[in-house]
Chain A
Amino acid sequence: MLTGLLLGIGLLALLALVAAGSGWVPGQERRAARAVHGGCLVIGLGFAGVAAAKLGMGLPEVPMALPFGPPWGAAVVALDGLSAWFLLLLGLSGASASLFALGMPPETGRVLVPFPLMLAGMALTLIAADGFTLLLGFEVMSFASWALIAADHAEAENRAAARRYLMFAVLAGACLVPAFGLLAGPAGSLEFSALRASPPEGWRAGAVLALGLAGAGAKAGLVPLHAWLPPAYRAASGPVSALMSGVMYKVALYVLARLLLDLCGPVQPAWWGVPLVVAGAVSALFGALRANMEAEIQPLLACSTIENIGFITLGFGLTLAFRGADLGPLAALAAGASLLHALNHGIFKTLLFLVAGAVRNAAGSQRIDRLGGLIHAMPVTALAALVGIGAAASLPPLAGFASEWLLLEALLAGWRVSDIVFQVVVAAATALVAMAAALAAAAMVRFFGLVFLGRPRSPRGAGAREAPLKERWALLLPAGLVVLLGLFPGLLLALAAPAIRVLAGPATPTPATPTPAPAGLVLVAGEGASTYLPLAVALLLALVLVTLWFLVRRRSTGATQRGPVWNGGFSDPPPFLHFGDPLTQPGAAGFAQPLRQMLGSALLGAREVVMMRPPGDPRPGHFAAHAADPTPGWLLMPLARLRDGIAARAERLRDLTIRGCLSLSFGTLVVLLALLAWLEAR
């Protein structure tokens, strides 16, 4: 099985080579694109199949040493429950994205080469069983995705985004590598089995926590290390951003979970959960709020990703805390919530980014203020989008709700950790999570309502056509998955049981333990008292809906009639305005206005500038809304200034005459001699 996975990774690398080779032969782009994306599709499905087989059949986990690796030892790979769970997500999301890309006009080599490499890097990270292989895959993934972001590098904005992106990726590496070093200790072996055998203690453990959180957080986009994330999405194409958002952050979170929950051993204290809970809650709030301010659809979705990453991190934090407080079932509940949400979010965010890609391809823009009314031109895409936003807004009975239900149940049980600080933190986190969920719903309404509903806002947008057949299939595949995942979360949790055991400890029941009869159809929390029956809810909703429709239509038989918009009695727009009066439609900034005033000005430094002309002045007035993320201001800019200051000072050393350089050498020699004399005199 591992051999198969490795073969898949090798094939992906080969595909990248093929794509690179096709760059030399002009006119082969179409075939190369088909080969690459087709290959990725097949391999992605293969990954998902292997992972599902591993999870479902409980195949044994045998680490395998590879015949190659770093010069100091062999690379080791293994597939345990946690790896398999994330591999499942990788396979499903990768297959969807590849399928979508097959339908798109062929990409250039700049995209074709790194695309399979990114998949390979992620797969390698997931199946790695030693520190080096893990980080090798991790950084390959980062570098490949940088190439994808930088593919369209003619625009300075994209270049800046790519640079910042890579910077944070490097930061992540620079934090994670010492974390593994600290974990290994003087013994030096980086194999996971060896690391597990000697969990860190004291300040080492604290340092591992800090470094791991910073490292994985920088890659996963946890606040305040998220500054790179939204701009990176402005550049990437639909399938690429789907893959990045759907899977890449999950891989970062996988590293977080692997490092802190698995490799650090089960004996860490309960307070370890606090930093994760705080970071998760704050990220959720910030991400969701920013999603309401963004003016373009892909950054909007990216911000929503920050929010969901926050949820998952929060779940991991709760797992740590519950485990530290010896509350095994609750730890399993929180771990299950996180894992399920990771999968759910991976799928529905893939779907939404593919929708965004389809919209971009069809309407030629991703600015909300140039789109609108697409539901008429693109009904299938709109339907898929509706499913996606429903899941993203965590509406029952779709996928997002099940995992959020578990997460909230875990949060509501947080008071069982008998520490008043933790209790208050969890209570506050509950409020923040609820707020973030509501904000996400608002953002999703904004996304769907402004892009698909209403009237077109630009001629290009009005000329949009439905996505081609393959793209539509690629949208319907994850959309169907979202529905299925929402209906059968219990089955999924049963499937995730091996992964939950990795996180929550070996002897914990899963939250889907079938206490009431139909196994796997019920989510259970809080010692069996709280239940969520998604299938029952769905059936109930369907039943009521059909009945209601039937009753109402029997009573009211009249066919609907079409008429001009009433619009509160406002007069019709003049005929030269083909799309109606654009000012009477809510715009991207306008829809965000209440939230901007309520929360944005406090948290994001949002402000509005309204410039009204004095009476009689025929020139148009102006309105502009700004929302700036404060973190670059108080995190990146001071650091950059500090760096430049030090660099300027260091420059003085360079600007020396030969005599000055000689003096340096001489001074060094004299200092060393004096040091020697002092050392020996002691």
Chain B
Amino acid sequence: MTFGQLPYDVAHLFGGGMLLLSFMLLYQRRVTAVINGLAIQGAILACAAAWQGGMQSAPQLYLTALIAFAAKAVLIPLALRVLIRRLDMDRTVDTAMGVGPSLIAGVALVALAILVVLPITTGARAIAREDLALALSVVLLGMLMMITRRNAILQVAGLMSMENGLILAAVGVAGMPLVVELSTAALVMVVLVVAGVFVFQIRERFDSVDVSLLDPHRGEGR
């Protein structure tokens, strides 16, 4: 396999775009904006997958791209919007950590990701390494988002963002078997989480201020 400079740059660009969007998600204060950002990230992921499909001449990646686009850029964001309307949720984000600190933490996480990936120069191809650093950053930022937001919908968004990073890594590794299957399986889980929010009307189970509501549910007082 020989990659020219351009394909590498483009793939890198997609990855960088996803990371940027992760930061944007971390930065957003409004729920709808977060969902929009998520949709864009899903779209970029689809592009990245398609690009890699072309680069590695692996047709199954096109399928991945298609699924990612349909589900992550269109369907799930739509569903989340419906959910927000149905549950009549607060439209502003209730953060547990201020935006500033969470951005700083995000930068630190990216630095950590790079630090961790840095020693892997030996033997591994540069593209994989760069992609790995980006994907790792996206995953970590997604998780950071999950723990800095109190709203269930936004936590689902964080989980999705994590999963996006995951797929980015999967499509970035040349010749990864079972990509389609794995990405689909991961997607199914996210869909089920969203469905769970739907079915059980879980509004604020993550972090309710209403202790009297939560305590009996934990089964055992202190």
- Interface residues, chain A, CB within 8 Å of chain B? 651, 655, 657-659, 662-663, 666, 669-670, 673-674, 676-677, 680-681
Whether the Cβ atoms of A655 and B143 lie closer than 8 Å is no
Question: Would B206 and A658 count as touching, CB distance under 8 A?
Answer: yes
Q: Which residue of A lies closest to B143 (CB)?
A: A666
Tell me which of A670, A676, A680 contacts B140 (CB under 8 A): A670
- Which residues of chain A are near B144, meaning CB under 8 Å? 666
> Which of B96, B140, B206, B222 is in CB contact (< 8 Å) with A655?
B222
**Contacts of B129-175 to chain A: CB distance below 8 A:** 140, 143-144, 146-147, 150, 155
Given known contacts A662-B147, A669-B143, A674-B112, A680 and B206 CB-to-CB distance under 8 angstroms? no
| Cβ contact of A670, chosen from B112, B118, B206, B214, cutoff 8 A | B112
- A676, B207: Cβ atoms closer than 8 Å: no
B147:A680 contact, CB within 8 angstroms: no
Q: Which of B77-102 contact A (CB under 8 A)?
A: 96
- With beta carbons under 8 angstroms apart, the residue of B109, B115, B143 that contacts A662 is B143
Residue B123 at the chain A interface, CB threshold 8 Å? no
- Minimum CB–CB distance from B209 to chain A (whole Å) comes to 10
With A673-B112, A674-B112, A677-B112 given, is the CB distance from A662 to B146 under 8 Å?
Answer: yes
Across the A-B interface, the 4 shortest Cβ-Cβ residue pairs: A677-B115, A680-B119, A663-B147, A657-B207
Give the most central of A663, A677, A681: most B CB within 10 Å: A677
- Whether the pair A657, B116 counts as a contact (CB closer than 8 A) is no
B30 CB within 8 Å of chain A: no
**Chain B residues near A673 (CB-CB < 8 A):** 112-113, 116
Q: Could you jot down 19 A-B contacts, CB within 8 Å?
A: A657-B206, A657-B207, A657-B208, A658-B207, A659-B147, A659-B150, A662-B143, A662-B147, A663-B147, A666-B143, A666-B146, A666-B147, A669-B143, A673-B112, A676-B116, A677-B116, A680-B119, A681-B115, A681-B119
- Listed residue (B96, B113, B140, B147) with the most chain A CB atoms within 10 angstroms of its CB: B147
Specify the chain A residue showing the minimal Cβ separation from B117: A677
CB neighbours (8 Å) of A674 from chain B are 112
A651–B143 contact, CB under 8 A?
Answer: no
Is chain B's binding surface mostly helix, strand, loop or mixed?
helix
Shortest C-beta distance, A300 to chain B (Å), equals: 44
Chain A residues near B207 (CB, 8 Å)? Answer: 657-659
> A676 — which chain B residues lie within 8 A by C-beta?
116
Please measure, in the bound complex, the distance between the C-alpha atom of A314 and the C-alpha atom of B143, giving whole angstroms: 63
Contacts A651-B222, A681-B115 known; list 10 others, CB within 8 Å. Answer: A657-B208, A658-B206, A662-B147, A663-B147, A666-B146, A669-B140, A670-B140, A674-B112, A677-B115, A680-B119
Cα(A681)–Cα(B118), bound, Å? 9
User: Smallest distance from the beta carbon of A667 to chain B beta carbons, Å?
Assistant: 9
Residues of chain A with a CB closer than 8 A to B208's CB: 657
The reply to whether A659 and B222 form a contact with Cβ atoms under 8 Å apart is no
* Neighbouring A residues of B116 by C-beta, 8 Å: 673, 676-677, 680
With A670-B140, A680-B119 in contact, is A658–B205 under 8 Å at CB? yes
Instruction: Select A659's contact among B113, B140, B206, B214, beta carbons within 8 Å.
Output: B206
Shortest Cβ distance from A561 into chain B, in angstroms?
Answer: 77
Give CA–CA (A669, B162) in the complex, Å. 14
How many angstroms between the C-alpha atoms of A673 and B113 in the bound complex? 8
> Which chain B residue lies CB-closest to A679?
B119
Q: Which residues of A have CB within 8 Å of B119?
A: 680-681
For B155, list chain A residues within 8 Å (CB).
659
B118, B143, B214: most-surrounded residue (chain A CB, <10 A):
B143
Specify the chain A residue showing the minimal Cβ separation from B119: A680
Residues A659 and B112 in contact, CB atoms below 8 Å apart: no
What residues on B are CB-neighbors of A655 within 8 Å?
A: 222
The complex places the Cα of A658 from the Cα of B155 at a distance, in Å, of 11
Cα–Cα distance between A662 and B206 once the two chains are bound (Å): 10
Docked pose: A167 CA to B109 CA in angstroms: 48
**What are the residues of chain A within 8 A of B150 when measuring CB–CB?**
659
Compute how far the CA of A338 lies from the CA of B144 in the bound complex, rounded to whole angstroms.
68
Q: How far in angstroms is the closest Cβ of chain B from A587?
A: 49
A677 and B214 alpha carbons, distance in the complex (Å): 39
Interface flags for B37-49 (1: CB within 8 Å of A; 0: not) read: 0000000000000
Interface residues of B in 101-129 (CB under 8 A from A): 109, 112-113, 115-116, 118-119
Contacts of B146 in A (CB 8 A): 659, 662, 666
A257 CB → nearest B CB, Å? 48
Contacts of A663 in B (CB 8 A): 147
Contact between B109 and A670 (Cβ–Cβ < 8 Å)? yes
Which chain A residue shows the least CB distance to B136?
A: A673
Instruction: Return chain B residues, CB-CB under 8 Å to A662.
Output: 143, 146-147
Report the Cα distance A655→B205, complex, angstroms: 14
| B115, B155, B205, B214 — most chain A CB neighbours (10 Å) | B115
The CA of A657 and the CA of B112, in the complex, are separated in Å by: 27
Residues from chain B with Cβ under 8 Å of A670 in the complex: 109, 112, 140
What CA separation (Å) do A651 and B208 show in the bound complex?
A: 20
Q: How far is the CB of B91 from chain A (nearest CB, A)?
A: 20
A contact residues around B147 at 8 Å (CB): 659, 662-663, 666
CA distance A651 to B205 in the complex (A): 21
Which B175-211 residues sit within 8 Å CB-CB of chain A?
Answer: 205-208
Q: Closest Cβ of chain A: how far from B210's Cβ, in Å? A: 12
**How far is the CB of B109 from the nearest CB of chain A, in Å?**
7
Task: Tell me the nearest residue of chain B to A672, going by C-beta.
Answer: B116
Which chain B residue shows the least CB distance to A651? Answer: B222
Q: Which residue of A lies closest to B148 (CB)?
A: A659
Q: How far is the CA of A681 from the CA of B146 in the complex (A)?
A: 30
How many Å lie between the Cα of A264 and that of B150 in the bound state? 62
Separation of A674 and B108 alpha carbons in the complex (Å): 11
Residues of B within 8 A of A659 (CB): 96, 146-147, 150, 155, 206-207
Chain B positions 10 through 38: 1 when the CB is less than 8 Å from some CB of chain A, otherwise 0: 00000000000000000000000000000
Q: What is the bound-complex CA distance between A662 and B205, given in angstroms?
A: 13
Chain B residues, CB < 8 A from A677: 112, 115-116, 118
Contacts of B206 in A (CB 8 A): 657-659
CB distance from B204 to the nearest CB of A (A): 10
Question: Bound state CA distance, A651 and B221, in angstroms?
Answer: 11
Chain B residues contacting A669 (CB-CB under 8 Å) are 140, 143
Q: Which residues of A contact B222 (CB under 8 A)?
A: 651, 655
How far, in whole Å, are A663 and B144 apart by their CA atoms in the complex?
8
B195 CB to closest chain A CB, in angstroms?
18
| Bound-complex Cα distance A662 to B96 (A) | 13
User: Complex formed: what's the CA distance from A680 to B214 in Å?
Assistant: 44
Q: Once the chains are docked, how many angstroms separate the CA of A657 from the CA of B140?
A: 20
| Chain A residues whose CB sits within 8 angstroms of the CB of B113 once the complex forms | 673
Please, how many angstroms separate the alpha-carbon atoms of A674 and B111 in the complex?
Answer: 10
Nearest CB of A to B152, in Å: 9
Name the residue of chain B whose CB is nearest to the CB of A680. Answer: B119
What are the residues of chain A within 8 A of B115 when measuring CB–CB?
677, 681
CB distance from A324 to the nearest CB of B (A): 55
Q: For the complex, what is the distance from the CA of A514 to the CA of B118, rounded to whole Å?
A: 83
For the complex, what is the distance from the CA of A674 to the CA of B118, rounded to whole Å? 12
Nearest B residue to A667, CB-CB: B147
Measured CA separation A655–B221 after assembly (Å): 9
Question: How far is it, in angstroms, between the C-alpha of A659 and the C-alpha of B205 when the chains are bound?
Answer: 9
Complex CA gap A666/B214 in Å reads 23
Distance in angstroms from B144 CB to nearest chain A CB is 7
**Complex CA distance for A666 and B140, rounded to whole angstroms:** 8
Assembly CA distance A362 to B155 (angstroms): 75
Of A655, A659, A666, A674, the most chain B CB neighbours within 10 A belong to A659
Q: How far is the CB of A278 from chain B (nearest CB, A)?
A: 45
Nearest CB in chain A to that of B208: its residue:
A657
Give the chain B neighbours of A658 by CB distance below 8 A. Answer: 205-207
